């Protein structure tokens, strides 16, 4: 359904999401913003005030057409620089209600927090990749730049042991909460607050090995001691270090939201990583998401070691 060049998902896709117990997905993609659902809440992300007004107005038309009764609408400005990022603000709904909520993705529960910062806690464009993780049924998972540990949770529900690394202790606390939301004990899993680039060599020296590795780094981050990670500059080094702890037949996710790195660039990095580490492997891409237009969302490639 299109309202003046805005792409809103069709009612049959909404019903398909409901049937698979998913209520976190992209509702609309527009040139200057987008709209996403998280449970009964909606987040409008916009670049201009005009885009926010149009998206918010036409959200109401769309919700009537599909029978979706949202309880709250939050709005989030999309700045050009990360330094300008702010937490979403409530524009419709009960201002006294908690800013924490829960969303479902194919039966799994994930905590959502509209007051914790710019991001809500769940990246819906990684849905197919989390499902692929579940289908692999890995035994030992390394989740780098784990954020709120959604990949770790997906793996743990199929019996995997997981190691989640992130600079933010607060994000890892939210990750533990996601484990508990899904009835998963946290005692058998490692949550490491630290720098991935420093921790990977330690794992290699210890002889730790993993059959699934998640590499979904931020475009830019800085540790407490001022050490910076820049995805265009550092992704190849990250991959080579990660391959040192990959088992034979290990699956490695290469993913980024950096607009200057598309799937082709990730494939080039993947081949470089194999050559540099003297490993053999194959590359594949998961199917496109039905709620995202082609070329929108995270760029993703899977590397399988042989």
pLDDT tens per residue across span 32-48: 999 999 999 999 999 99
Average pLDDT over residues 99-115: 98
Distance CA 191, CA 198 (A): 15
**What pLDDT shows up at residue 185?**
95
Q: Are 122 and 105 in contact (CB under 8 A)?
A: yes
DSSP code of residue 276: H
Structural domains in the chain? 2-113 (3.30.750), 124-305 (3.40.50.150)
Average pLDDT over residues 234-263: 96
**Is 70 exceeded by the pLDDT of residue 276?**
yes
Q: Are 247 and 263 in contact (CB under 8 A)?
A: no
pLDDT per residue as tens digits for the range 170-199: 999 999 999 999 999 999 899 999 999 999
pLDDT per residue as tens digits for the range 278-302: 999 999 999 999 999 999 999 999 9
pTM score, whole prediction: 0.95
Identify the three-state secondary structure at position 252. Answer: strand
Q: How deeply is 57 buried, as exposed, middle or buried, from its count of CB atoms within 10 A (0-12, 13-18, 19+)?
A: exposed
Q: How deeply is 260 buried, as exposed, middle or buried, from its count of CB atoms within 10 A (0-12, 13-18, 19+)?
A: exposed
Stated as kind and residue range, the H or E segment containing 164 is strand 161-166
pLDDT-derived band of residue 222, with 50, 70 and 90 as boundaries?
A: confident
**What pLDDT shows up at residue 188?**
84
**Is 50 exceeded by the pLDDT of residue 1?**
no
**What pLDDT shows up at residue 191?**
98
pLDDT-derived band of residue 5, with 50, 70 and 90 as boundaries?
A: low
pLDDT per residue as tens digits for the range 223-236: 777 688 899 999 99
């Amino acid at each position: 359904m299109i309202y003046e060049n805005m792409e809103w998902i069709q009612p049959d896709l909404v019903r398909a999401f409901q049937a698979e117990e998913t209520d976190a997905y992209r509702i609309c993609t527009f040139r200057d913003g987008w709209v996403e659902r998280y449970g009964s809440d909606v987040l409008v992300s916009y670049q201009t005030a005009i885009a926010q007004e149009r998206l918010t107005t036409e959200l109401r038309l769309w919700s009537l057409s599909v029978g979706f009764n949202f309880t709250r609408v939050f709005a989030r400005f999309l700045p050009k620089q990360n330094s300008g990022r702010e937490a979403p603000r409530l524009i419709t709904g009960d201002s006294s209600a908690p800013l924490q909520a829960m969303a479902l993705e194919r039966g799994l529960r994930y905590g959502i927090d509209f007051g914790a910062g710019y991001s809500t806690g769940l990246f819906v464009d990684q849905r197919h990749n989390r499902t692929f993780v579940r289908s692999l049924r890995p035994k030992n998972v390394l989740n780098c730049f784990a954020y709120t540990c959604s990949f770790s949770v997906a793996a743990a529900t199929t019996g995997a042991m997981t190691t989640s690394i992130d600079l933010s202790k607060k994000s890892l606390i939210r990750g533990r909460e996601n484990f508990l939301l899904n009835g998963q004990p946290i005692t058998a899993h490692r949550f490491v607050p630290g720098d991935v680039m420093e921790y990977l060599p330690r794992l290699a020296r210890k002889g730790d090995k993993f059959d699934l590795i998640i590499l979904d780094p931020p475009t830019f981050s800085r540790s407490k001691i001022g050490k910076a990670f820049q995805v265009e500059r550092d992704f190849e080094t990250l991959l080579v270090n990660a391959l040192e702890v990959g088992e034979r037949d290990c699956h490695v996710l290469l993913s980024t939201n950096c607009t200057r790195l598309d799937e082709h660039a990730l494939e080039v990095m993947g081949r470089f990583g194999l050559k540099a580490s003297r490993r053999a492997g194959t590359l594949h891409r998961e199917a496109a998401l039905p709620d995202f237009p082609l070329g929108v969302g995270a760029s993703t490639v899977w590397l399988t070691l042989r």
